[in-house]
Amino acid sequence: MTLMEVKSRGKYFIAEARRQHEMDAQEIYTKMFSDPQYAKEGPRLFRYDWAIEYLLSTHCSNATTVCDIGSGRGDFVKRLIETNRKLRITAIDVSNFHGQEGICHLNVDLNDLTGVGSLLLHRFDFGACLDVLEHLCADRIDFVLSAISQSCRNVAATIANHSEIHDGIQLHTIQENSDWWSDRVSKHFQIVRYATHYNSRLYAFWLKSHHSSDMI
């Protein structure tokens, strides 16, 4: 098989994964999170440390309203609670996979533009979006980043750049380099800090919204 044929097959499989995501993200991730081996990581990960460091920095010293976009099983929500700060925490995902009492939850499918638009009804001092954006459709990233930037003053984001297949489904429907992501992120945010991790397979950003001064 030639290199061109390999690239063509790769594009086909990613396109097929996007189609599957569009069919029913809730069904896909409900099935994924019912598998105890999927995302079995616990609360002690680089991406969680990265987000907590930003939250506790001088950039976010007055943050009281916090959201976890793509909250999954709620491991990062647990880390937020452990900070012992008086935070009003909102978990955001296609379904309530975390089941934690006392935590506000918003059902939002980030691949659904109507759902993403509902973020504009909320304002947060700080948002975490950890290993989430690579699961979306590339043609919606700009809209999603725009909505997040209008909802969150500051955002800690991590983005994986590698394949992740579960049950025959490619979950990482965007696999692009750091320049690709930086170009898109910088349209909506000031990049306060940037780092790579895991041999450049994970990109990490501290972001400040271009709309932060307009938020009440």
pLDDT in tens, 77-127: 999 999 888 999 999 998 887 777 788 999 999 989 888 989 999 999 999
Answer yes or no: is pLDDT of 186 > 60. Answer: yes
- Structure confidence at residue 40 (pLDDT): 61
Domain span at residue 189 reads 3-214
Alpha helices in 118-190 (DSSP H): 141-151, 178-185
Long-range contacts of 48-51 (CB under 8 A, 24+ apart): 48/75, 48/76, 48/79, 48/130, 50/156, 50/158, 50/195, 50/204, 51/76, 51/79, 51/128, 51/130, 51/156, 51/158
Answer yes or no: is pLDDT of 59 > 70. Answer: yes
- Structure confidence at residue 13 (pLDDT): 41
- Structure confidence at residue 102 (pLDDT): 80
**169: CATH:** 3.40.50.150
- Structure confidence at residue 36 (pLDDT): 65
Model confidence at 183, in pLDDT bands (50, 70, 90)?
A: very high
- Structure confidence at residue 33 (pLDDT): 65
Q: pTM score, two decimals?
A: 0.83
Structure-model confidence comparison of residues 37 and 3, the more confident one: 37
Domain count of the fold of the chain: 1
Answer yes or no: is pLDDT of 160 > 80. Answer: yes
Answer yes or no: is pLDDT of 39 > 80. Answer: no
- Structure confidence at residue 58 (pLDDT): 95
Mean pLDDT score of the chain, rounded to an integer? Answer: 85
Answer yes or no: is pLDDT of 209 > 50. Answer: yes
Provide the terminal-to-terminal Cα distance of the chain, rounded to the nearest Å: 57
